[in-house]
C-alpha cells in the first residue's frame, strides 16, 4: 500500500511537470510561428493594396483619357462651323424620311466624319455619332465605318445619355452607365459632351461608345481575384468570370452575375455592407473553411467598388522561409522536451523521498489513538510534519468532545420526535377545520347569490305588474270612450249604403267601403289593446297562411314607395285567423313605417321548420333603417316604442298572441339594412300549449 502511494506521488510530479514543459514549449512555438505568419500576411495585404491602387489608377486613367480625347476632338472648329450654318440652324429637312443636306453642309459633314475617323483610329471606340437637339443624327461611325444618310436615325432623343449630355457645360463630359449598344450589340460605356456655339447655344452633342470589355480586361490579375461591385450588388467586372459575347440581355440583372456568387457566407455579406459605407478598407471572411483577405476602394465613376481578394493558402504558398522556421521550431521543441523529461525524473526522485517517509509514518497511525510523528526531515516537509502533529493533538481533544455532544444530541432527538408527533396531530386537525370552513363559506356564497337573483326577479315582476296594471286601466278607458262613436259611424255608413245605393257611383261606394274598413280596423285595434292586457280567447282552426295574408293586404294602405312581396307557396296552420291577422297587420305596418319615405321592399316568407316539420316558419323582412341593439332587447315589452305616435302595445300584443298559439316570435336587425321578424307556429292542434306566465288575470 505504501509503495503504491509513493509511486502515485512521483508519477503525478512527473506528469504535471511534463505537461507544463510541453505546454510551455508548444505555446512558445505556436506564438512564434503565428507571429511570423501574421507578418507575412500583413506584407501580402500591403502588396494587395498597392496592386489595387495601381488598378484604380489605370481605371481612372482610362476614363480620363476618354474624356480628354473627346474634349480634344470637340475643340475642332468644324463642329461650331457646321452648326453655325444658317441651313443647319433653320432645322432639319427630310425627304422620304431621309435627312437632306445642302452642299455646304455636306462638305463640312465630310470633314467632320474624317476628323471623327481619326479619333476612332487613335482610341478604341465602337461607335461615334453627332446628334442635334431633336434627336437627329448628323454623322455616325461604327467601327470606323461611316453610316450613309439614309441610315441616320432621327429618334436618338430616347437614348439614355441624351438629356443629361445637354445639361453639361462646355468641355464637360457626361459618362453614361453601361448599356447594350444597338449597333454593335455589346455592353458599352457612353461618353458625351455638348457642342457649344459662341453665343452659348448647344445645338448638338458629340458622343462615342467604348466597349466595356476594355474595362473588364483592365482589372485581370495573375494572383488572387479582382472584381467590381456596382450599387445594385452586381459584378460588372470579374477576373475569374467569363462574360458572354452572344445572346446578350439588355437588363443588367440578367447579364451581370450577383456579387454573392463570390461567396454566400454571412461574413462576406457583412463585408459587402461595410464596403458600401466606407471609401476604402481591408477585411477578411471565410469561405469553404478557408480565410480570405480582401482590400477594396470605391471608384469615382458610378459609385462602383474595386475589390481585390486572395486566399490565405495562396499568400503562404511558395514561402520557403516559413517552412524552414516551422521545421526548426519543431526540432528545438522536441530537444527541449526530452531534456526536461530527464531533469524532471531525477528531481522528482529527490523530492519524493521525504514525502515517502511522511506517508509511511501517517499510515502507521492508529485512528483511535493517534501519536506524534517523529522523522528526520527539513525545510517544508518538516513544517508539514509539525502541522500533522498539531492536527493529531487536536483530533484527540475533539474525539473526547464529540462523545459528549453525541450523548446530548441523542437526548434532544428523542424530545424533538415527541414534539413532532404532537405538531403533526395539530396540523391534521387544523387542515380538517380549514376544509370545513371553506365548504361552509362556499354554501353561504351560493345562498347569497340565489337570494340576490330571487330579489331581482321579484322586483322586476312587481315593476312589470305595475306597468301592465296602468295599461289595463288605459285600455278600459279607451274602449269605453271609442266603441260607441265607432258603432254610430259604422251604422251610419251602412245606412247610407242601403238607402242611397242607387244614387251612389263607384267612387262613393269605394269611399264608404274604405270607411267601413277603417272603422273595422279601429275596432280591432281596440281589441288589440285589450288583447295585450287579458288572456286571448282563441278560436283556432286549420287556416291557410296565404289566405290570411291576402285579407291583411286588403286591410292596410301600402304607399307607392313600398313593395310588399307575398310568397306563392302556402302552409296550413292550426290558429285563430283573426288573431293572426292582427299579428300580420302589426308587423307589416311597422315594416312600412320603418322604410319611411324612401323606396323599400317587404318580403314575406313561408316555409316548414327544417328542424321540426310540425311547425311553420313565417318571416317578415323589411329594408328599413333597422333597430339599434338596445332597442332589440326591449322590443316586445309593453309601452316600449321608438315612434312618437305609437303606444308600444302592438308588438307586445303580437308576442302574447303567438305564445298562446304555442309558438315563438324573435327579431333580428342590422342598423341601416333592415329588420327580420321570425314567427314559429305549430301546424297541428297537439302542439298547442298555453304559456305559464300570463300578463294578467281576468
Domain parsing of the chain, residue ranges: 2-58+319-360, 75-210, 219-316, 413-533, 538-687
Q: How confident is the model at residue 664 (pLDDT cuts 50, 70, 90)?
A: very high
Q: Which fold has domain 219-316?
A: Beta-Lactamase (3.30.450)
Cβ burial 593-631 (10 Å sphere, 16+ → b, else e): ebbeeeebebbbebeeeeeeeebbbbebbbbbbbbeeee
- List the grid coordinates of 126: 465602337
Longest CA–CA separation in the chain, Å: 163
| Residues with Cβ within 8 Å of residue 174, at least 6 apart in sequence | 161, 164, 165, 167, 168, 191, 192, 193
Q: What's the CA angle centered on 67, arms 131 and 178, to 5 degrees?
A: 70
Q: How confident is the model at residue 618 (pLDDT cuts 50, 70, 90)?
A: very high
Query: Tens digit of pLDDT for each residue in 103-113?
Result: 888 888 888 88
d(C-alpha 529, C-alpha 525), whole Å: 6
- List the grid coordinates of 545: 297562411
Mean pLDDT, range 516-527, rounded to an integer: 72
| Better-predicted residue by pLDDT, 326 or 628 | 628
d(C-alpha 287, C-alpha 99), whole Å: 60
Q: How confident is the model at residue 666 (pLDDT cuts 50, 70, 90)?
A: very high
d(C-alpha 301, C-alpha 176), whole Å: 10
- List the grid coordinates of 21: 514543459
Q: Which fold has domain 75-210?
A: Beta-Lactamase (3.30.450)
Q: Is 384's pLDDT higher than 80?
A: no
pLDDT at 505: 80
Quick one: which of 82, 66, 201 has its CA closest to 138?
A: 82
Question: For residue 247, is it left (φ>0), alpha (ψ between -120 and 50) or beta?
Answer: left
* Beta carbons within 10 angstroms of residue 119's beta carbon: 21
Sign of CA dihedral 673, 677, 680, 683: negative
Q: How confident is the model at residue 588 (pLDDT cuts 50, 70, 90)?
A: very high
d(C-alpha 260, C-alpha 281), whole Å: 19
CATH number listed for the domain at residues 413-533: 1.10.287
Mean pLDDT, range 24-43, rounded to an integer: 68
Backbone angles phi, psi at 177, to 5 degrees: -55, 145
Tell me, what DSSP letter sits at residue 258? B
pLDDT at 575: 92
Q: Where are the beta strands (DSSP E) in 566-670?
A: 572-575, 600-608, 615-622, 664-670
pLDDT at 4: 56
CB 519 within 8 A of CB 512: no
DSSP letter for each residue of 498-561:
HHTTTT--HHHHHHHHHHHHHHHHHHHHHHHHHHHHS------EEEEHHHHHHHHHHHSPPPTT
Quick one: which of 592, 581, 587, 593 has its CA closest to 554?
A: 581
Percentage above 70 pLDDT, the chain: 82
Q: Is 696's pLDDT higher than 50?
A: no
| Better-predicted residue by pLDDT, 696 or 591 | 591
Mean pLDDT, range 624-637, rounded to an integer: 85
Percentage above 90 pLDDT, the chain: 19
Q: Which fold has domain 538-687?
A: Heat Shock Protein 90 (3.30.565)
pTM of the model: 0.45
75-210 and 219-316 share one fold:
yes
Q: Which of 515-524, 556-565, 682-691 has the highest mean pLDDT?
A: 556-565
CB 359 within 8 A of CB 2: yes
CB 602 within 8 A of CB 610: no
d(C-alpha 580, C-alpha 665), whole Å: 13
Instruction: Work out whether strand 600-608 and strand 562-565 pair parallel, antiparallel, or are unpaired.
Output: parallel
- List the grid coordinates of 218: 483592365
Q: Is 692's pLDDT higher than 50?
A: no
Amino acid at each position: 500500500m505504501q509503495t503504491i502511494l509513493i509511486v502515485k506521488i512521483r508519477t503525478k510530479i512527473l506528469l504535471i511537470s511534463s505537461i507544463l514543459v510541453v505546454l510551455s514549449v508548444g505555446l512558445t512555438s505556436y506564438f512564434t510561428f503565428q507571429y511570423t505568419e501574421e507578418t507575412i500576411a500583413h506584407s501580402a495585404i500591403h502588396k494587395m493594396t498597392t496592386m489595387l491602387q495601381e488598378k484604380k489608377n489605370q481605371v481612372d486613367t482610362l476614363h480620363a483619357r476618354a474624356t480628354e480625347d473627346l474634349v480634344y476632338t470637340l475643340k475642332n472648329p468644324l463642329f461650331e462651323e457646321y452648326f453655325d450654318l444658317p441651313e443647319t440652324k433653320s432645322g432639319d429637312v427630310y425627304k422620304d424620311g431621309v435627312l437632306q443636306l445642302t452642299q455646304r453642309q455636306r462638305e463640312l459633314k465630310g470633314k467632320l466624319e474624317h476628323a471623327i475617323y481619326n479619333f476612332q483610329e487613335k482610341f478604341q471606340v465602337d461607335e461615334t455619332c453627332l446628334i442635334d437637339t431633336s434627336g437627329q443624327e448628323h454623322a455616325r461611325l461604327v467601327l470606323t465605318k461611316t453610316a450613309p444618310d439614309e441610315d441616320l436615325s432621327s429618334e436618338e432623343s430616347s437614348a439614355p445619355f441624351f438629356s443629361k449630355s445637354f445639361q453639361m457645360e462646355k468641355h464637360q463630359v457626361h459618362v453614361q452607365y453601361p448599356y447594350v449598344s444597338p449597333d454593335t450589340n455589346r455592353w458599352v460605356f457612353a461618353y458625351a459632351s455638348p457642342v457649344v456655339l459662341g453665343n452659348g447655344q448647344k445645338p448638338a452633342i458629340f458622343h462615342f461608345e467604348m466597349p466595356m470589355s476594355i474595362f473588364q480586361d483592365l482589372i485581370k490579375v495573375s494572383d488572387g481575384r479582382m472584381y467590381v461591385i456596382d450599387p445594385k450588388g452586381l459584378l460588372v467586372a470579374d477576373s475569374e468570370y467569363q462574360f458572354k459575347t452572344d445572346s446578350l440581355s439588355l437588363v443588367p440583372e440578367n447579364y451581370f452575375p450577383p456579387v454573392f456568387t463570390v461567396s454566400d457566407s454571412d461574413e462576406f455579406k457583412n463585408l459587402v455592407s461595410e464596403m458600401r459605407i466606407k471609401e476604402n478598407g481591408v477585411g477578411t471572411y471565410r469561405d469553404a473553411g478557408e480565410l480570405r483577405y480582401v482590400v477594396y476602394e470605391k471608384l469615382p465613376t458610378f459609385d462602383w467598388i474595386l475589390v481585390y481578394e486572395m486566399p490565405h493558402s495562396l499568400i503562404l504558398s511558395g514561402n520557403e522561409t516559413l517552412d524552414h522556421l516551422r521545421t526548426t521550431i519543431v526540432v528545438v521543441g522536441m530537444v527541449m522536451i526530452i531534456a526536461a523529461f530527464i531533469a524532471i525524473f531525477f528531481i522528482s526522485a529527490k523530492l519524493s523521498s521525504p514525502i515517502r517517509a511522511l506517508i509511511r509514518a501517517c499510515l502507521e497511525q492508529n485512528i483511535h489513538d493517534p501519536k506524534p510523528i517523529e522523522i528526520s526531515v527539513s525545510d517544508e516537509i518538516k513544517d508539514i510534519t509539525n502541522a500533522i502533529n498539531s492536527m493529531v493533538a487536536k483530533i484527540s481533544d475533539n474525539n473526547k468532545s464529540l462523545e459528549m455532544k453525541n450523548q446530548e444530541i441523542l437526548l434532544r432527538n428523542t424530545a424533538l420526535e415527541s414534539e413532532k408527533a404532537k405538531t403533526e396531530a395539530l396540523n391534521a386537525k387544523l387542515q380538517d377545520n380549514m376544509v370545513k370552513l371553506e365548504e361552509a363559506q362556499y354554501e353561504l356564497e351560493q345562498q347569497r347569490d340565489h337570494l340576490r337573483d330571487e330579489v331581482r326577479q321579484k322586483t322586476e315582476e312587481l315593476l312589470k305588474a305595475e306597468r301592465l296594471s296602468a295599461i289595463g286601466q288605459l285600455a278600459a278607458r279607451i274602449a269605453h270612450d271609442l266603441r260607441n262613436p265607432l258603432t254610430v259611424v259604422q251604422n251610419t255608413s251602412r245606412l247610407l249604403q242601403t238607402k242611397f245605393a242607387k244614387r251612389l257611383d263607384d267612387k262613393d261606394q269605394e269611399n264608404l267601403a274604405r270607411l267601413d274598413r277603417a272603422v273595422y280596423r279601429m275596432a280591432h285595434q281596440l281589441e288589440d289593446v285589450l288583447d295585450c292586457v287579458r288572456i286571448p280567447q282563441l278560436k283556432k282552426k286549420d287556416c291557410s297562411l296565404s289566405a290570411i295574408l291576402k285579407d291583411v293586404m286588403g286591410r292596410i294602405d301600402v304607399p307607392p314607395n313600398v313593395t310588399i312581396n307575398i310568397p306563392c307557396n302556402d302552409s296550413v296552420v292550426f290558429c285563430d285567423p283573426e288573431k293572426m291577422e292582427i299579428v300580420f297587420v302589426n308587423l307589416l305596418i311597422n315594416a312600412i313605417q320603418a322604410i319611411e319615405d324612401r323606396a323599400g321592399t317587404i318580403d314575406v316568407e313561408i316555409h316548414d321548420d327544417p328542424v321540426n316539420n310540425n311547425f311553420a316558419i313565417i318571416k317578415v323582412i323589411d329594408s328599413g333603417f333597422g333597430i339599434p341593439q338596445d332597442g332589440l332587447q326591449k322590443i316586445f315589452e309593453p309601452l316600449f316604442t321608438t315612434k312618437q305616435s305609437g303606444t308600444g302595445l302592438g308588438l307586445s300584443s303580437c308576442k302574447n298572441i303567438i305564445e298562446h298559439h304555442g309558438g315563438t316570435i324573435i327579431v333580428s336587425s342590422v342598423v341601416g339594412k333592415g329588420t327580420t321578424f321570425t314567427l314559429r307556429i305549430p301546424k297541428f292542434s297537439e302542439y298547442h300549449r298555453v304559456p305559464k306566465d300570463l300578463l294578467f288575470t281576468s
